[in-house]
Structure 1
Amino acid sequence: MDDRRRVVIVAYENAQILDVACPSGALDVANRYGAAPPYTIELSTPDGRTAGTSAGIGLGPGRRLAAVTGRLDTLVVVGGLGAETAAQDRQLLAQVRRLAGRSRRVASVCTGAYVLAAAGLLDHRRVTTHWGHGSRLAERHPAVAVDPAPLFIRDGNVYTSAGVTSALDLTLSLIEDDHGPTLARAVARELVTYLHRTADQAQISMFLAAPPPGERLVRDLTGYIAGHLADDLSPRALAERAGISTRHLTRLFTAHLGTTPARAVRAARAEAAAHLLRSSGLPVAAVARRCGLGSAETLRTTLLRHYGVAGDALRRMPDMPRARVPAQRQTPRHGRHNDT
C-alpha cells in the first residue's frame, strides 16, 4: 500500500502561477529534505488540458478532474484572475465537492476561496482570502464568515489563505503539522523565506501599508518612522518635521492610513520589536531601547497589546502571532480592504 501523502492542486484558465508554485515548490523541497511519508503532487484541470495563467505561462497538461479517483491527503484550489469564472462552472464545482469528500483536508489559495465557497464547502466557517476580495466574497456568500486580515485560517479540516505568497506560509504550516517544526524550518531556509509567518499574522505589514503615491508627505513620514524608531516620534515632533500642524497631521494619517500618528508609531515599534525578538539574540531591554519603547516593561505591555503575548513568550514561539497593525484605507477594484 502506498503511504505517500497525495496532494492534488486544482487549476483552471487564468490561474495565478504563484498559487501553484508556492505549495508545490515547498512540498517538493520537503520531500528532498526527507519528508516521511513523502508527498506526491498532482496538477488537475477541469478538462485535463493545459490551463493558461495570467503570467502567460501554461500549467499542465494536468489530469482531468473527473478522472481523479482514490483517497487524497490534501486538495488545494488555487486562485487567480479566473477564479470568479471558475466559481460559476457547475461541473468544476461538482468535482471539487466530490474530491473534497475524498480528502483529509481541503485548502484554497487566495481567490480560490470563491470556488470553495461556491461549492458549499465554506458555509458556517471562518475563512480568509486576498484582502482586496474579502468584502466581495462575504457579499456573495453570507453564510461564510470572512476575515480578510490573517494570512491563513484553519477551520476544522478546511484551510483558506490570503493572496499569492501566503500559500507558502500555509504550506509550511501544513508541513509542520505533518512532519514537525524541524522539517518546516529546513524547508523555509531552503526557500530563503525571511520568516515562517503564523496563520493570524496580518496580511499587510505596517511597513508595507504605504499611502497612495500622491501623498508624498505621509509616505515620507511613515518611512521616517520606520527608520528612526528610537527618536522622538510624538505627533508634535512629526508635525514639526513635516511643517504642518498636529491637527492636519492627524487628518492626513486618518485619511490615508486609517489610524492616528500615535497609533501608527506604536504599531511600527511593536512590529519592529517583534521581528528583532524573533530574528536576533539581543536582550529584551536592548530591543526595547532600539525600538523606542524605553524599557523591557514597556515592550512587554506593548507586545501584549499588539500580539497578545509577552516578549519572552514571543521569542520562544516557533512563529510570530498576528500583529494588529493599522489598516490602509484603499478601495481596490474588487472590494474594500479592512484588516482591523
Structure 2
Amino acid sequence: MSRRRIGFLVFDGVKMLDFAGPAEVFVEANQTLDAYEVVPVSADGREVGTSIGARVSVACAAHEAGWFDTVVIPGSELAPREFVTPELLEAARSLAGRTRRLTSICSGAFVLAELGLLNGKRATTHWKFTRELAQRYPEIRVEPDPIFVRDGRVFTSAGVAAGVDLALALVEDDHGADAARAVAQSLLVYMQRSGGQSQFSASLSGPAPRTPLVRAVAGLVWADPAHPYTVQELASLGGVSVRHLTRLFRADLESSPAEYVAYVRFSVAREKLDAGCTVTESATAAGYGTSEAMRRAFVARLGISPRKYQQRFRSTLRSA
C-alpha cells in the first residue's frame, strides 16, 4: 500500500504545536503502519520561522507539491489579519484543489474562510477566535464548543492539542480504531476525544470584565452562583440603575447581566461534572433550581444532556 501524502502549509509565524502536534501523530503511525508521508510546504518554497523562534525547512513550494491525500493548514498566535496574506491564500487555494481532505488547526480556519471554502459549512476554531470568525464570515455555521468539526471533506479544529485529536481521528478513519489507539498510547495522549467534546479549557475563559463596576458585580456572581440573582438585585449591589448596569454589561462583555449569570452557572455546573459530582450536586452548586433546568441548559448549549456530557468526559480519561 502506498503512503498517504499529508501536506502541511507552513508560514512565518505558524504556531509550532499546531504544526508539530498533528505531524507527529502521522509520523508515529508509521512505526507500525508505514502509512504516511509528511510533507511541509510553504508559499514560496523557503523555510519559515515558527512561533517559538525555530525555523522549519520545507520540501518545496505549494504549487510544486503535487497531489495530497490530506492538506493541513495550521494557525498562528498572530492575528488572522496579519498572517493570512495574499501569498498564503494563493498557496492554500492551489493545495485545496489537489487533496482528498482539507483540514485546518486553530486560526488556520481563517484561511479556508477567506477562500470561501467554509461557506455553508459547519466549522470551529479556537474559542478565542470563534466570535471573530462568525462575525467576519456570516456564511459559516460556526460551532464554538467542539474540539473539531467535520463537514464533508473539510475538517476544522480548535487550537493546539485539538489538532492532535483531529489527526488521531483521521488515522482512525484511514486505518481503524486500533491503529489510532496504538498511536495515542505511544504518544501518551488520550485516545482521541470525540469531536463533539467541549473545549474544556474554555469553561472559565469567557471575556474578562474591564470596567471596575462590572468586575465587582461579576465577582459577586462567581462567588455565589447558587444565589437567585435578579437584574434588579445586581443593579442594587452595584449602586446603579438596571438600565445603566445593562448598558455597562453590553459594552464590556457583550451580554446582559442575566445572560452573564446563566454563563457563570453553566460554567460552574460543567466544572462540577468534570470533577465527578453528580448531576444533582452540580445543579445545586451552580444555582439551577432543578436537575431538569440544568439539563435544558446543557442541551441548549452543547446539544447533549449533563449525564451524557459527563460519560463522554470520563470515557476519555479511561481511554488514555
Range class of TM-score, shorter chain: 0.7 to 0.9
Residue 150 (structure 1) shift: 5.0
Shift of 1:206: 6.0
Structure 1 partner of 2:15:
16
Supply the distance in 2 between the matched residues of 1:137 and 1:184 (Cα, whole angstroms): 40
- Report whether the alignment pairs 1:83 with 2:88: no
CA distance in 2, matches of 1:65, 1:50: 12
Q: Distance in 1 between matches of 2:170 and 2:105?
A: 13
Amino acid at match of 1:78: P
Which position in structure 2 is the counterpart of 1:292?
A: 287
The 3 A distance-change label for structure 1 pair 166 and 290 is same
**Aligned residue number for residue 56 of structure 2:** 59
Q: Which amino acid aligns with 2:300?
A: R
Following TM superposition, by how much is the alpha carbon of 1:261 offset from its aligned partner in structure 2, in angstroms?
1.8
**Displacement, 1:53?**
3.2
Q: Which structure's relative contact order is higher, taking Cα pairs within 8 Å and 6+ residues apart?
A: 1
In 1, Cα distance between equivalents of 2:230 and 2:143:
31
3-state SS, counterpart of residue 69 of structure 2: strand
Q: 1:190 aligns with which of 174, 188, 191?
A: 188
- Which of these residues, 46, 49, 52, is aligned with residue 49 of structure 1? 46
Tell me the residue number matched to 2:6: 7
Which residue of structure 2 aligns with residue 97 of structure 1?
Answer: 96
Q: Per the alignment, in what secondary structure is the counterpart of residue 54 of structure 2?
A: coil
Which residues in structure 2 correspond to 1:1-340 (within 5 Å)? 1-2=1-2, 4-27=3-26, 31=29, 39-53=36-50, 55-69=52-66, 72-80=68-76, 81-89=82-90, 92-93=91-92, 95-100=94-99, 103=100, 105-116=101-112, 121-122=117-118, 124-129=120-125, 130-131=129-130, 133-134=132-133, 138=137, 145=140, 147=142, 149-151=144-146, 152-162=148-158, 166-175=162-171, 177=173, 179-180=176-177, 183=181, 186=184, 190-191=188-189, 196=193, 198-199=195-196, 201=198, 205=202, 207-211=204-208, 213=210, 215-277=211-273, 279-317=274-312
Q: CA deviation at 1:285?
A: 1.4
Cα distance per residue 1:233-269 (max 9 Å; x no partner) = 4434434443434443322222222222222222221
* Contact 1:134–1:148 (8 Å) recurs in 2: no
Please, which runs of 5 or more residues in structure 1 have no aligned partner? 321-340
Q: Which moved more, 1:282-291 or 1:204-213?
A: 204-213
RMSD of the alignment, in Å?
4.1
Q: Distance in 2 between matches of 1:184 and 1:216?
A: 51
248 and 223 in structure 1: CA distance in 2 versus 1, 3 angstrom threshold: same
Q: Structure 1 vs Structure 2: percent identity of aligned residues?
A: 28
2: CA distance between counterparts of 1:211 and 1:177?
39
Give the direction of change, closer, same or farther, for the CA distance of 1:227–1:24 in structure 2 (3 Å limit): farther
Higher share of residues assigned helix: 2
1:326 maps to which residue?
none
Measured in 1, the distance between the counterparts of 2:253 and 2:263 equals 12
SS at match of 2:293: helix
> Structure 1's 116 and 235: CA in aligned 2 closer, same or farther, altered over 3 A?
closer
Shift in Å at residue 310 of structure 1?
A: 2.4
Gaps of 5+ in 2: 77-81, 316-320
Residue 284 (structure 1) shift: 1.8
> Which stretch of structure 1 is more off in the superposition, 50-59 or 175-184?
175-184
Q: CA offsets per residue over residues 84-134 of structure 1, 9 Å max, x none? A: 233454xx246413432xx3x111234434544566644554444533642
Secondary structure of the residue aligned to 1:317 is helix
Secondary structure (helix, strand or coil) at the match of 2:156 reads strand
Measured against aligned partners, the alpha-carbon deviations of 1:259-305 in whole angstroms (never above 9, x if no partner) come to 2222222222123323433x243222112112222432332233233
